[in-house]
Structures are given as structure tokens and as C-alpha cells.
Amino acid sequence: MPPSENAPDSAEYTTPEGLHVRRMAGALGAEVRGLSLESIDAAGAEAVLGLLIEHHVLFFPEQAPSVDAHIAFGRHFGELEGHPHLVNPTEGLPPEIFELSAKHGGVADEWHTDLTCLDSPALFSILHMVRAPAVGGDTMWSNLAMAYDELSPPVQALCEGLTAIHDGEPHDTPEVKSVHPVVRVHPVTGRRVLYVNEHFTRRIVELSREESALLLGHLTKWVSNPRFTVRYRWQTGTVAMWDNRVTQHFVLNDFHEERVIQRVTVMGDRVEAAAPARWPAFQRVGGVSDTSRHDRVLDEVTGSSDGD
């Protein structure tokens, strides 16, 4: 479904399917009303997908779907998978649902795209706010295509020739690793997208450790620039859906009441590079030294380091 023609210049508009859309920020995000996720059909899901491609993250207030309806909604968009690394702390839920309850801490308070440590990361995430705190616990999302577009041309060109290692260390699975391009192409829109994050990305393959730290530090801070973001204040019963191919998100750890979420994850992303890697993996010059341990991850992933 093509994006609505009047959407880019309208704060609020109605789609041909009768969905009322209200944009939440200039960069990304929209609230959608006029449908029930409890009983949505294939045509409704197609309309939602069109809006998601357009706005990157959607919010559906006053929904409160049942667990079964939440799962059924997710299945309109692909194969579902529970969290591959974390044990569901709530017993009795179907494996497609991951629930997290927290009063303070235990939230993803680093900017990240879901599961980039996997070869085929999460495609879409669909979160139901079962219980929202009265104050705090907002989530922010960043538009990674916009973040790429606003880099200077020389930095864009550099990033397009690089790849980066992502691993599952935040989930206590550092052995789970994948290499992805620093700049990917969104398969639907064709836009270039900056694809590194502070949570999972460990090292740029083609740079020395020091150079990698400098560039990753800049890029991971860059994507959090407020003009690329939307911040959403949750209400109990709201559902959010976001496109992991073009967004990062961050949970504000500023609440002291129970915050309960249930999430289903649509898996199966295929990461396409904007351009081939232009240089070989970094190789330390000289013999083995204490500092060569920083390059072992390159040898593990690419087999190209001579550090050990």
C-alpha cells in the first residue's frame, strides 16, 4: 500500500480505509485510531503496514488486546518468536509473548535496534503496555534514515564502506555475533539507514580499536539528536508497533511504579548493505602484545586478524 499522499504536510489526516492518523513529531511517529486490534483482518493489517512504512512507529491508544489477539495481530506480518536469549519471567504465557515487569531498572535504557546481534534481526516489534506508571517510563524512537541523511557527504561515504560486529553481550550471550553493514538499505523505501547502536554494536571491522571507538561514539550519539526522535508517554492499553529496519528506541528509566509490557516480535529481517565493504578487516602490525586482545573479536568473526 503506498503512503497517503496528504500525510507529509498534514498533522492529522484520514486514510481511505477510515483510519484517523495524528503525527507525533516531525521525524517519525503517528497515533492511529479507527480500528480494533482485537479483530483486525488482512485488509486492516495491510493498511497498518502502509502507515508503518510511512511513519516508522505507530501508536494505537485504548486497545488492550487479549494475548491471543496480540499474537494474531503480529502473525499478519510474519513469523513470531519469543526472546531468543532471555527467559520469560512470567509463567503461563504463550512462547510468542515476552513479558517484562519492572518498578525501577530492568528496562532497555540504551539506544538500540532489537536483536541486531542476529544474522536475521527482528523485523517489527509490537508492544502492549499492560500497566503504565502514572509518571515516567516513556519510550523514545529515532529515525535512522534521517540520521544518515544529515551526516556530511564525506562521513556518509566513509560509513558506506564499513561493516560492524554486533553481539549479544547485553543478554549475557557474547558468543552470539553477527556482522552487518554500517549503512543498510531499507528494502521497501530504498532509503539508506545508519545501522549501528550503542547496545549491540561492539567494533567496526575495518578500523583499529581506537578509530572504531571514535566513530562509533560519534554515530551512536548522533542518532539520539532530538530532531531525529519522537518521545511517547504511555497509557495503559496502548499498543505500539515499530519498524526495526529504520529505528532505534530507548526507555526512560525514571519511574517508580510497576510498568508491565507484553511484546511480540516479528522475525526475519534481511540486512542489505548500501555498498560493499571497501577495505579488509583491520590487522594489527607487529607481533602479539597485550593489546592484541582487543582484536581477537575480529579473528573470531572474520579470521583476518593476526593478533593471536
Catalogue the active-site residues: 112, 114, 249, 263
Within a 10 A sphere around the Cβ of 131, how many other Cβ atoms?
A: 13
Distance CA 121, CA 281 (A): 23
Distance CA 176, CA 166 (A): 8
Helices (H) and strands (E) in the chain, counts: 6, 16
CB 81 within 8 A of CB 96: yes
Distance CA 261, CA 97 (A): 10
Query: Which helix (H) or strand (E) segment is 60 a member of?
Result: strand 57-60
- What cell was used for 108? 532497555
CA neighbor of 194 nearest in space, from 247, 242, 153: 247
Query: Which helix (H) or strand (E) segment is 217 a member of?
Result: helix 209-222
φ/ψ (deg, to 5) at 51: -70, -35
Chain centroid, CA 76 distance in Å: 19
Distance CA 302, CA 47 (A): 42
φ/ψ (deg, to 5) at 219: -65, -40
CB 33 within 8 A of CB 84: no
Distance CA 307, CA 224 (A): 34
CB 245 within 8 A of CB 186: yes
